Structure 1
């Protein structure tokens, strides 16, 4: 996978989000899907986020997963700068348990859609990303078919 060009971009607002995002990366590894990881806050590093998001498609990224907490504007900011689908992962917070993050992510303005998974739903974000890839990739689609069959047998 390290030799393959990444097709999923993962961006998170803080290094402290990394442990909660490990299940996302593990699931993508299990599916054999290449990805890149970026840490940049929409509020503290907006120019860096803009550059990363606006060039993602040119780098071969087809789906972006954005994780953030509290105000959690990262997914929406990224979605404003890319033609690729964005999946938001609201991070659990100490203030409101992640409800603040969730509401920030699902209340997007018309024209800037962001898909959203559950609070700390990193694994589901990876699965959804591969399902999206599967709409144009038979190999990815088969990975999801096999994954769901294995879940049914467990």
Structure 2
């Protein structure tokens, strides 16, 4: 199975990314975690992206706050799918990071999830791998069925209490 690359612009992003790691662990998907800054370590970020396919990655999750150019810098240097997580910072509640991540120029796509949306980033990365891995796709189907069952259970409780 291919692995997922998780890259953050600063170790202060780690609490957000732990949700992605927990989700990947739940599905048994291997990953590597790195701190590379688009601005402070551009050479290392570029080398990671350029070598990612050869190093066994199937997708890359890139998280950054404020200027949030990391996902774009990674995407500019690989044709692997890149999933950006805009991270909420003390300024602008993460809107700056969201716009920096989602507004990519034509030809350099970055799939972008919600601000601090690490769980969905991991699930999207798992779906990318699951497109060619039947076992992983089955795990995703089972997780969706389990989530639906929980909602329907809650629906029954609400209906029993409020519908007369």
When normalised by structure 2's length, the TM-score is 0.90
**Structure 2 gap segments, 5+ residues each:** 151-164
Of residues 133, 143, 147, the one that matches 1:147 is 143
Match in the other structure for 2:84: 88
Of residues 36, 55, 63, the one that matches 1:59 is 55
Q: Secondary structure at the match of 2:92?
A: coil
Of residues 100, 103, 124, the one that matches 2:99 is 103
The CA distance in 2 between the partners of 1:151 and 1:50, in whole Å, is 38
RMSD over aligned CA atoms reads 0.9
Equivalent residue pairs, number:
150
The CA distance in 1 between the partners of 2:96 and 2:8, in whole Å, is 16
- The structure with the greater share of residues assigned to helix is 2
Match in the other structure for 1:26: 22
Tell me the CA shift for residue 153 of structure 1: 1.2
The CA distance in 2 between the partners of 1:143 and 1:38, in whole Å, is 26
1:136 aligns with 2:132: yes
Tell me the CA shift for residue 6 of structure 1: 5.6
Q: Secondary structure at the match of 1:62?
A: strand
1:6 and 1:36 in contact (8 A); partners too:
no
Misfit runs of 4+, over 4 Å: none
Q: Which structure has the bigger radius of gyration?
A: 2
When normalised by structure 1's length, the TM-score is 0.95
1:69 and 1:98 in contact (8 A); partners too:
yes
The CA distance in 1 between the partners of 2:95 and 2:127, in whole Å, is 26
The CA distance in 2 between the partners of 1:143 and 1:39, in whole Å, is 29
**Structure 1 gap segments, 5+ residues each:** none
Match in the other structure for 1:120: 116
The CA distance in 2 between the partners of 1:140 and 1:72, in whole Å, is 30
